[in-house]
Amino acid sequence: MILVTGANGQLGQCFQQLATDFPQMKFLFAASSDLDIGDRAAVKRFFAQHSIQCCINCAAYTAVDKAESEPVQAKRINVSGVKNLASACAALHIPLVHFSTDYVYHSHQNLPFREEDAVSPKGVYARTKLQGERAAQKAHPSGTMIIRTSWVYSIFGQNFVKTMLRLGAERPGLSVVFDQIGTPTYAPDLAEAVLGIVDRTMRGDLNQEALAGIWHYSNEGVTSWYDFAQAIFEIRQLPCKVQPIESKAYPTPAQRPPFSVLNKAKIKTQLGIAIPHWRESLVRCLNMLDR
């Protein structure tokens, strides 16, 4: 049984949608109402009640700006919750797949970040995500696979693509920052890659210990939020004009990394994962939204 926590979140819903493509695997989807990962006793009980072979943790506090005024809540989910899951997995000697963020990198480097590069998180969200990584690795060092990803979007939940489509249909023009550089990640691409890895692990084709540690996954290519918005309107043929602005013209409670492009060489070479270009995946997402 593959446990997917945070099942009603954006990424969790993508796993639910893809489950039928992996009929050889049995899934247990747990929303926050089914399992509060911040409650250690509840996590222990849940794992005792179900025959779990692997846990994919999609539960996270992801409200980046709100976290600045809710540090206790962010830490409860992003740190304590992750530690609780890692401890439960360690007790059963089963793998944990946990998702982290490009926000752990906040420097003015201009080369794509590798997994071993120095981290420098700024803000509550970024710091709690890094603390969660470390708590999981300490609790379950041989069985925790941490995947840092960036700019996640899909047909589910609230995300940049859906916001741009809504505003682009309502307004003649928008201002979008051009000095934050990274790569969008289409959540179904990430979920499919992870399910492929888990399937190979369950079949014994991949060693659980070999998956332990930090990995990067985002779509291929590099862009800015401004160019990403331009691409959305161009593909959708929306007449909304996009004006590039600097981040200082659009202040937010939490600072965003100026450059957070992820180097994916490790996951591609060691695990043979093929990654689509961000624009190709954006077209697929927009086609899904049109249906």
Label residue 31 by pLDDT band (50, 70, 90). Answer: very high
Choosing from 61, 103, 105, 125, the catalytic residue is 125
Under DSSP, is residue 188 helix (H, G, I), strand (E, B) or coil? helix
74 falls within a domain: yes
Other C-beta atoms closer than 10 Å to the C-beta of 150 total: 21
Label residue 49 by pLDDT band (50, 70, 90). Answer: very high
130 falls within a domain: yes
State the residue range of the domain holding 204.
Answer: 2-158+184-221+260-276
Q: What is the pLDDT of residues 181-229, one digit of tens each?
A: 999 999 999 999 999 999 999 888 988 888 999 999 999 999 999 999 9
246 falls within a domain: no
Q: pTM score, two decimals?
A: 0.96
67 falls within a domain: yes
255 falls within a domain: no
Name which of 14, 284, 43, 205 is nearest 140 in CA terms: 43
254 falls within a domain: no
- % of the chain with per-residue pLDDT over 90: 95
Q: What is the pLDDT of residues 168-178, one digit of tens each?
A: 999 999 999 99
Q: How far apart are CA 130 and CA 143, in angstroms?
A: 17
Total of domains in the chain: 1
Tell me what pLDDT residue 291 has.
Answer: 83
Tell me what pLDDT residue 108 has.
Answer: 85
Q: Does the annotation mark 125 as catalytic? A: yes
Instruction: Look over the chain and give the mean of its residue pLDDT values, rounded to a whole number.
Output: 96
CB 216 within 8 Å of CB 264: yes
Q: Which residues pair with residue 3 across a beta bridge? A: 28, 55
Q: List the CATH number of the domain containing 91.
A: 3.40.50.720
207: which 2 tokens? 């060693």
Label residue 106 by pLDDT band (50, 70, 90). Answer: very high
Label residue 86 by pLDDT band (50, 70, 90). Answer: very high
